[in-house]
Amino acid sequence: MRYGILLMIVQKFGGTSVKSVARIKNVARIVAHAAKENPVVVVVSAMGDTTDYLLKLARQASAAPNDRELDVLLATGEQISIALLALTLNEMGARAVSLTGAQLGIITESVHNAARIVDIKTDRIRRYLDDGYIVVAAGFQGTTTEGDTTTLGRGGSDTTAVAIAAALGANVCDIFTDVSGVYTADPNLVPGARLLKEISYEEMLEMARVGAQVLHPRAVELARKHKLPLRVRNTFDIEHEGTILRGAGDMEIYRPVSGVTVDRDQARLAILEVPDRPGIAGEIFGALAKRRVSVDMIIQAFHQDGSVNDITFTIKRGDLNTARELLQEIASGIGARGIIADPDVAKVSIVGAGLMDRAEIASEMFSALGRAGVNIKMISTSEIRISCAVSDKDAERAVTIIHELFKLGEEEGS
């Protein structure tokens, strides 16, 4: 692991990386090594399943836990991790000091459970770094200006790391996790999947949206805003260089397709022969939003006479029952013919910064799937993504076909 002439490094280790004291010792070795030549801030999550355990306790105490107190409870998870990592680093002879969200100067909105960071008062971090300390920072937490503990919600620790790196003007933010970086496809599905050396923020955001779980989009978005190089690395295999995220304009290698992803947690609903009246689509999707059902792909198909149309959309499979009941009610209310519920859906997507320049890519993808007998149920696209809804049973095969079609397993730039 060489950082060369880099001046300041932020490292972040997730829950699986600090699951036990033994694993924390491994993390401490990585941190101490980096800190030999560079000032280092290391951000850690709660150990393994700690957060789940604390949530279980909270639910035993209260059916609808008070927001403020839930944050006080959850914040203890990261506090345990930072103390143990700082203890371990000191035991190894490194000088380390732990800081909680409040001590780090991470000021958030006065909103609990999913607060946004509004400011980081870096004086204390800088003072410790100047004094030669490794700063061990609690991820996921902050404080209001009134001194109440807040937590940042999903992707919180990644966000803490990127926000601290941006506030300090760090040269790189390394997100250590249990995979070696971002792959062209899930290596569990496609044995030939290849680790990407680099990927743009925008591609990573699209990949996260369609099933790749490596980095939280919130952290990627923040890194993009600050043009902060973000690197994904493997805690358990630090020889790997990992994948670096940077701006599309700073990419060294051009390629039309960077990766193929699959999201198997999908279902499809259709409402048939909806009267063509203004505001009806808004009524349907408004009602779903109120029940917190997120809708993904949407297709509205007009019948030939134009008086009625069919509306089809995809949702998370877990929302199917809620959404089906709601849609049934709406269908009766507006005089639609009925509804169709299809639980057997997966979404296969390709992502690539070069897609927008290459119109033939989409047709190549559809043709290849057609030749292989994979029926495409729906299509949606963005500037750098093409997604197809297919039968869940076809999903793995579709990913393999696409991976081969675009030669994603071959070395970049070749």
Q: Which is nearer to a copy of itself, 144 or 309 (CB)?
A: 144
What b/e sequence results for 178-195 when a residue is b if at least 16 CB atoms lie within 10 Å of its CB, and e otherwise?
Answer: ebbbbbbbbeebbeebbb
Q: How far is the CB of 133 from a copy of itself (least distance, A)?
A: 11
Q: Which is nearer to a copy of itself, 73 or 288 (CB)?
A: 73
Q: Which is nearer to a copy of itself, 79 or 380 (CB)?
A: 79
Q: How far is the CB of 28 from a copy of itself (least distance, A)?
A: 9
Q: Which of 301, 302, 290 is nearest to 326 (CA)?
A: 290
Per rule CB under 8 A, count of chain residues that contact a copy of itself: 40
* Alpha-carbon dihedral sign for residues 24, 30, 36, 37: negative
Task: Write the burial class of residue 248 (CB in 10 Å: 0-12 exposed, 13-18 middle, 19+ buried).
Answer: middle
Q: Which of 237, 229, 243, 241 is nearest to 197 (CA)?
A: 243
Q: How far is the CB of 106 from a copy of itself (least distance, A)?
A: 13
Q: How far is the CB of 61 from a copy of itself (least distance, A)?
A: 4
Q: Which is nearer to a copy of itself, 43 or 369 (CB)?
A: 43
* Residue 272 engages a copy of itself in binding (rule: CB under 8 A): no
Q: What share of the chain is helix, strand, coil (3-state, %, to 5)?
A: 40, 25, 35
Q: Which is nearer to a copy of itself, 73 or 402 (CB)?
A: 73
Q: Which is nearer to a copy of itself, 82 or 117 (CB)?
A: 82
Q: Who contacts 5 (Cβ-Cβ below 8 Å, separation ≥6)?
A: none
Other C-beta atoms lying within 10 Å of the C-beta of residue 344: 15
- Cβ contact 96:136 at 8 Å: yes
Other C-beta atoms lying within 10 Å of the C-beta of residue 113: 14
Among 8, 55, 72, 341, interactor with a copy of itself by CB under 8 A: 72
* Residue 55 engages a copy of itself in binding (rule: CB under 8 A): no
Q: How far is the CB of 218 from a copy of itself (least distance, A)?
A: 25
How many residues are given for the chain? 414
* Residue 326 engages a copy of itself in binding (rule: CB under 8 A): no
* Residue 106 engages a copy of itself in binding (rule: CB under 8 A): no
* Residue 139 engages a copy of itself in binding (rule: CB under 8 A): no
Q: Which is nearer to a copy of itself, 115 or 230 (CB)?
A: 115
Among 36, 63, 130, 279, interactor with a copy of itself by CB under 8 A: 63
Among 18, 41, 73, 204, interactor with a copy of itself by CB under 8 A: 73
Stretch that binds a copy of itself, among 143-151, 169-177, 371-379, 396-404 (CB under 8 A): 143-151
Among 48, 65, 242, 352, interactor with a copy of itself by CB under 8 A: 65
Stretch that binds a copy of itself, among 79-87, 198-206, 254-262, 277-285 (CB under 8 A): 79-87
Stretch that binds a copy of itself, among 142-150, 282-290, 300-308, 360-368 (CB under 8 A): 142-150
Task: Write the CA distances from 385 to 209, 348, 390, integer angstroms.
Answer: 10, 10, 16
Give the CB-side neighbour count of residue 159, counting CA atoms within 13 A. Answer: 23
Q: Who contacts 68 (Cβ-Cβ below 8 Å, separation ≥6)?
A: 112, 148
Stretch that binds a copy of itself, among 1-9, 85-93, 109-117, 304-312 (CB under 8 A): 85-93
Other C-beta atoms lying within 10 Å of the C-beta of residue 25: 15
Q: Which is nearer to a copy of itself, 100 or 108 (CB)?
A: 100
> Dmax over Cα atoms in the chain, in whole Å?
79
Written as six digits, the tokens of 19 are 């699951």
Among 30, 32, 44, 86, interactor with a copy of itself by CB under 8 A: 86
- Cβ contact 256:352 at 8 Å: yes
* Residue 69 engages a copy of itself in binding (rule: CB under 8 A): yes
Give the Cα separation of 35 and 39 in Å (integer).
6
Q: How far is the CB of 78 from a copy of itself (least distance, A)?
A: 10
Q: Which is nearer to a copy of itself, 83 or 287 (CB)?
A: 83
* Residue 111 engages a copy of itself in binding (rule: CB under 8 A): no
Give the Cα separation of 359 and 45 in Å (integer).
42
Q: How far is the CB of 97 from a copy of itself (least distance, A)?
A: 7
> Parallel, antiparallel, or unpaired: how do β-strands 243-246 and 96-99 relate?
unpaired
Could you list the residues that contact a copy of itself (CB under 8 A)? Answer: 21, 24-25, 54, 57-58, 60-66, 68-70, 72-73, 75-76, 79-80, 82-84, 86-88, 90-91, 96-98, 100, 102-103, 124, 147-149
